[in-house]
Structure formats: structure tokens, C-alpha cells
A and B are shown apart, each in its own frame.
Chain A
Amino acid sequence: MRGIRSLAIGAGFACITAALFIQWFLPEMIPATHERRVTRAVRTDLGEIKWIRYESSDYTPLERVGRGVYIREGCWYCHSQYVRPVTGEDVRWGPVSEAGEYAFDLPHLFSTRRIGPDLTRVGLKYGDDWHYAHHWDPRLVVPDSIMPSFTWLFLQIRVPVHRAGDTLTLDPVPAMRRYFTMNVAKPIPIYPNEDGLTFVHPRPDGELPIDGTPQLDLTAYQAHPPVPALRSALLLIPTKELVGLVAYVQKLGMNRGAWREVFEPQTVDVSAMRIPESELLLARGRAVFAQRCIGCHGAKGDGNGVAATFLSPRPRDFTLGEFKFRTTPSGSLPTDGDLFRTITRGVRWTPMPTWHEVPENDRLAVIQYLKSFSDRWRQEKPPAPVYVPDPPAPTPELLARGKELYEKDAKCWQCHGDGGKGDGPSADELKDDFGFPIRPTDFTRGQFKGGSHVRDIYRTMTTGLDGTPMPSFVDSMKADERWAISYYVLSFSAWGDPLTGQKLKISPQAKAALDSPAVRAGSPRLAYDPDGTPTAVSKRNATPRAAADGEQK
């Protein structure tokens, strides 16, 4: 009996030891465990998006602060960080996760439950402002959200307000000196909502004090009186922890680069579409608007929703019937197809997210409803869309011509800057038609509000962006000149990281190969390998599955 006992206890320990060995030590021997490279979408000099194998990058110190907050607040209980290789995942979230994406995630935060959405691909889906509004009160931007508020990640100062006529001024309390330098030469416009909630944009590094003096700006209510009768304003300043958390969330998935530019579910190529009007559709649209849009655009569609105080640029005011992204000529109404494209794709680098996950019928219905906010829709009809022909093949000569036109004839640099960073001489003074300050687009990040295909840039140059200082160039430039500039504008973001705007370290040989039409590299599976040394992963995937990618090698 003693023999059996000894044998059993020995076997038990041996089995547990073997299991630990298999679970802990053997995985270290799998190449994928040490893989740091991922497939990454980059824009080439000629404006195309191609896939390349590239080292993933570590978090910045600020993003690490945010990661700490993510772990501390238990975000990972409800949010997973893994796009699974099963049906539909890559259509809903984006490309399936790769091992190298987690190279700097120790411990990894895969999580398993999805009480909230998966966050692997959330980077750059929303603007920073959206995240600030969402953390203050998720219901402001997602009415049916069950996420808790994270109000303790904000500094809150209650400041009395003086009213004189239609102007409101803050009565500086001593606490404000702790958070602001109170430099009178640098006013900081802040926009209160109806309840007095007033968001203050933090410094990029999240530190304090913020340079300048906060001043209440009531532009939003001048077009839509009355001015709210506030006795005090509650200033909200994100703490460094929250600034870090938002930076961390924006970093998620960004090791895969500009994948969103070729993310099929949010690509819409219709323009001349018209939706037949019906009471049923209008009622559905009203419900969808109340569920998805009301927080920012407001119940009256005037862009004064409760969350609007957080957002820059401000949400669109539908009551004027002016729309930026159109295929119709400057100053005219957009087609239903234009609105459908904007809703589906979202407006990148702004708080307007992509809505490709919302059922198509809901998107069509809400277009019908938002047309009811302005009389302009009853008085005018959208004219025929501008014809956007097939783009000419990009060549280095075309780019050189574009550069010349950008700098001399079209004078794009005045607003967008010589380097395309949106820092031209007149950039700081620009205002939109509603009286709000507006920044010219930073081309180096490749986050184009109206779309990032060369056709989108051409369309924007042709029709202009109504309500903004961006004019139409249809009369002043010929079509081939507009194509040349469009390609040049895209080339600012070539080989760049969409998150930081910095250039990637890609060898001249690799760039030349990707610029060549011979290398298609149109999907992660076909990614170009600059080292030419196939990794374990790339070796296995050497034979592409044509049916899965819709592309032959």
C-alpha cells in the first residue's frame, strides 16, 4: 500500500511539473512568442496603401501612464483587446490581431469578455475630444451605454459667472490660478453647454498649469438664442491620468498603421443616390437620431448638444443646411449619397466616428430626418453631382507638378503650411462660417476628413468644403492640375505614422519596391517583407488564399 501511495504522489507531482513545463517554458520556444514585426499599412509616395512587415513600437511614457490607469480602473473586465480570426470579426473591427502587436504588452490585456466593445482597433476611430466626453459621461455620446462615468479623472472647478447683456464672464476664483497661468495675452475660448458644463482642452502632456486665461465663448448661442442663464460654470480639466488614458486608447491598433484607409466596410462609393421620402422612414430616422446623434448635434439639430462643449471642431449645425463633404458644386446641398458616405465613414480626426456598424436602413433613415432641420431642403434640390473621372496614373512628374502648384499657383501653403502640417501663416486666424476657430488639415497624418483616396482629395478641391475657409478650385484650376495637387497632398503622409505623423524607418529599396506597380502587397497576407527573410509567420502565409482576400497574387 505504501508503494502505491508513493507512486501516486510521485506521479501527481510529475504530471503537474510536466504541465507547467508545457504551459510556461515550451511557448518560449515558439518563434511567434518573440515576434515583434507586424504587417502594417503604409501610404506610398504615389498615394497608394500597401502592406509591409514592420517592427511594432513601444508605448510612450504618457501612454504607459494611460495603460496603468486602464489596468487600475479595470477597463479590461469589459473590453477585450483581440480581434479573433473568426467570421465577421475583421469586418466589424478591422484586421485580425497578430502576435507582434502584443510585443510590448506585459501583461497582455486580451481579456475575454466583451461587455463593452473590443478595443484592439479603436485607435483613431474617434477624436480625443470624443473620449473626454465619453469618460465624463458615456451617455452623452452613446445614450444606451452601460459604461460607468469616470468623473474622478477630471479636475473640476466651480466658477461664478457674471452676466452683462448677452455676454457671460467668469469671475476668477483663486483655484483657477492653480490650473491656469491667467496670461491675459492668451485667451482660451471655452464653450459652456446649457447646464454650465464647460470643458477645457488639456495640454498635450497633461501637465498643469495651462497657459492663458479661460473665457466663455457664446458663439454657439448667438445663432440660436437664448443664451443660457448660468450662475456658475463647472470647468472640467482632464487630469494627466486621463490624458494618458486617451493617448493609450488612441495608440491601440496603430502598429498596423493606416489600415483604416482601406477598411472596406466604411468605404462608400455612391454619390447620386436618392432616398424616397416616407413618414415611416422619417419616424425611424428620428429614433435613430435620438439614439446616436442627439448628444452632440442636439435635439434641435443645431450642434448644441450637451456633449458639444467637449468637441472641437464643433458638431455640425444642421439648421443652416450647409455641408462640407459633397459631390455637388460649392454652395449647394449635398446628395443623399454624400450624407450616407459621411455617416458611414465618419469624419476622421474629429469626434464624428464611423457608423459602418449601424444597419444600413438606419443610416438611410437618419439622413431623411436630419434634412428636416433646415428649410433649405424644402426650397432647393441638390444639383447634379460633379463628375469625378478616373484618376490619372500617379508618376513622379505628376507629383513634382503638384508640388509646384501647391506652392505657387494654388497657394495651399498659406493655410496648410509648406510641410503640409496645417501650420501655414494664416492657420491661426481661420474661422468657419459659424464663427468658431478652425484648423487646416495636417496632411502629414493622412487623416483626411472627407476621405483619403485621391478621388476624395480631388473632389474636395473641386467642390470646396462649405462653411469652412477651404474654397472650390473648380474655376481657378484645370482638372489635371487638381489631380496633381491631390496626389501631392497625399504624398505628405507617405511612409508616415498616422498617430504621430512621424516618418517610418523604411529603406530606400523597400520604398522603391512598394512604389512599383509590380509589388501589389494589397492585404496583410501579401505584405512586402523588406528583409526578404521570411519569418515563421510569413513562410506559412506564403500562399495567399485568393477567396479570403479577393485578390490573386
Chain B
Amino acid sequence: MSDVGYLTVGEFLVALLMSLAALSALVWAAASGAFRNVEEVKHRVLELEEEDHARRTP
């Protein structure tokens, strides 16, 4: 294979590997529960704030 051909294939490989890396990160995140019940977080923040407020108010 010529240098230019090698470099071109190399760039494709790099792109493919970086995409796979990104896909792996996505799978890892999904498996870790990052996408589970995504609405939950804001409610929790709100509830915590209210609890905190209630605790401070005599």
C-alpha cells in the first residue's frame, strides 16, 4: 500500500476507533444508569431544597 493510501486507511481506522470509543462510553453510561429515570434528578433537587428550607425555618 502507498503512503497516501496507508495514511487514508489509517485516518478511517482512527475515526472508526474513536467512534467505537464514544459508543463504548455511551454503553457504559447506559449500563451505569445515567439514562434511567432522567426526570428524577430535578425532582430530587427540588425536594432536597424544600426539606432544607423546612429544616431552617423555625
State whether these chains interact.
yes
Could you tell me which A residues sit within 8 Å of B by CB distance?
A: 1, 4-5, 8-9, 11-13, 15-16, 18-19, 22-23, 26-27, 30-32, 536, 540
Q: Are B32 and A5 in contact (CB under 8 A)?
A: yes
- Which of the candidate stretches B18-26, B40-48, B49-57 sits at the interface with the other chain? B18-26
Docked Cα-Cα span, A321 to B7, in Å, equals: 57
Q: Are A19 and B28 in contact (CB under 8 A)?
A: no
Which secondary structure characterizes the binding site on chain A? helix
Q: Are A540 and B20 in contact (CB under 8 A)?
A: no
Q: Are A18 and B17 in contact (CB under 8 A)?
A: yes
**Known contacts A5-B31, A8-B28, A15-B18: A22-B3 contact under CB 8 Å:** no
Q: Are B28 and A22 in contact (CB under 8 A)?
A: no
Q: Tell me the smallest distance from the CB of B58 to a CB of chain A, in Å.
A: 45
**Known contacts A15-B24, A26-B10, A540-B2: A8-B31 contact under CB 8 Å:** yes
Q: Are B21 and A30 in contact (CB under 8 A)?
A: no
Q: Are B3 and A15 in contact (CB under 8 A)?
A: no
Q: Are A19 and B18 in contact (CB under 8 A)?
A: yes
Q: Compute the total of residue contacts between A and B using a CB distance below 8 Å.
A: 55
- Selected contact of B20 from candidates A11, A22, A32, CB within 8 Å: A11
Q: Are A19 and B6 in contact (CB under 8 A)?
A: no
Q: Are B3 and A32 in contact (CB under 8 A)?
A: yes
Which secondary structure characterizes the binding site on chain B? helix
Q: Tell me the smallest distance from the CB of A299 to a CB of chain B, in Å.
A: 51
Q: Tell me the smallest distance from the CB of B51 to a CB of chain A, in Å.
A: 31
Docked Cα-Cα span, A520 to B14, in Å, equals: 43
**Known contacts A5-B32, A8-B27: A22-B2 contact under CB 8 Å:** no
- In this complex, how many residues of chain B approach chain A with their Cβ under 8 Å: the count is 18
Which chain A positions have C-beta within 8 A of B32? 5
Q: Tell me the smallest distance from the CB of A26 to a CB of chain B, in Å.
A: 6
Q: Are B17 and A15 in contact (CB under 8 A)?
A: yes
Q: Are B31 and A1 in contact (CB under 8 A)?
A: yes
Which chain A positions have C-beta within 8 A of B31? 1, 4-5, 8
Best-surrounded residue of A15, A30, A540 (most CB of chain B within 10 A): A15
Q: Tell me the smallest distance from the CB of A108 to a CB of chain B, in Å.
A: 15
> Can you list 13 pairs linking A and B with CB atoms under 8 Å apart?
A1-B31, A8-B24, A8-B25, A9-B25, A15-B18, A15-B21, A19-B17, A19-B21, A22-B13, A27-B7, A27-B10, A30-B3, A32-B3
Q: Are A12 and B17 in contact (CB under 8 A)?
A: no
Which chain A positions have C-beta within 8 A of B3? 30-32, 536
Docked Cα-Cα span, A360 to B47, in Å, equals: 77
Other than the known A11-B21, A18-B17, what 19 A-B pairs have Cβ atoms closer than 8 Å?
A: A4-B31, A8-B25, A9-B25, A9-B28, A11-B24, A12-B20, A12-B24, A15-B17, A16-B17, A19-B14, A19-B17, A22-B10, A22-B14, A22-B17, A23-B14, A27-B10, A30-B6, A30-B7, A32-B3
Q: Tell me the smallest distance from the CB of A442 to a CB of chain B, in Å.
A: 40
Q: Tell me the smallest distance from the CB of A397 to a CB of chain B, in Å.
A: 46
Q: Are A12 and B10 in contact (CB under 8 A)?
A: no
Q: Are A23 and B28 in contact (CB under 8 A)?
A: no
Which chain B positions have C-beta within 8 A of A540? 2
Looking across the interface, which residue of chain A has its beta carbon closest to that of B13? A22
Docked Cα-Cα span, A18 to B20, in Å, equals: 11
The 10 A-B pairs at the shortest CB distance, nearest first, are namely: A12-B24, A8-B28, A15-B21, A8-B27, A19-B17, A11-B24, A5-B31, A15-B20, A4-B31, A15-B17
Looking across the interface, which residue of chain A has its beta carbon closest to that of B6? A30
Q: Are B13 and A12 in contact (CB under 8 A)?
A: no
Which chain B positions have C-beta within 8 A of A18? 17
Docked Cα-Cα span, A22 to B13, in Å, equals: 8
Which chain B positions have C-beta within 8 A of A9? 24-25, 28
Q: Tell me the smallest distance from the CB of A489 to a CB of chain B, in Å.
A: 42
Q: Are A23 and B10 in contact (CB under 8 A)?
A: yes
Docked Cα-Cα span, A9 to B28, in Å, equals: 6
Docked Cα-Cα span, A12 to B27, in Å, equals: 10
Q: Tell me the smallest distance from the CB of A268 to a CB of chain B, in Å.
A: 35
Docked Cα-Cα span, A189 to B5, in Å, equals: 58
Docked Cα-Cα span, A288 to B14, in Å, equals: 50
Which chain B positions have C-beta within 8 A of A27? 7, 10
Which chain B positions have C-beta within 8 A of A26? 10
Best-surrounded residue of B7, B20, B24 (most CB of chain A within 10 A): B24
Docked Cα-Cα span, A236 to B24, in Å, equals: 61
Which chain B positions have C-beta within 8 A of A1? 31
Docked Cα-Cα span, A9 to B21, in Å, equals: 9
Q: Are B10 and A16 in contact (CB under 8 A)?
A: no
Docked Cα-Cα span, A352 to B27, in Å, equals: 64
Which chain B positions have C-beta within 8 A of A5? 28, 31-32
Q: Are A16 and B21 in contact (CB under 8 A)?
A: yes
Docked Cα-Cα span, A5 to B34, in Å, equals: 12
Q: Tell me the smallest distance from the CB of A387 to a CB of chain B, in Å.
A: 50
Which chain A positions have C-beta within 8 A of B24? 8-9, 11-12, 15
**Known contacts A4-B31, A5-B32, A32-B3: A12-B25 contact under CB 8 Å:** yes
Which chain A positions have C-beta within 8 A of B13? 19, 22
Docked Cα-Cα span, A22 to B24, in Å, equals: 19
Looking across the interface, which residue of chain A has its beta carbon closest to that of B9? A22
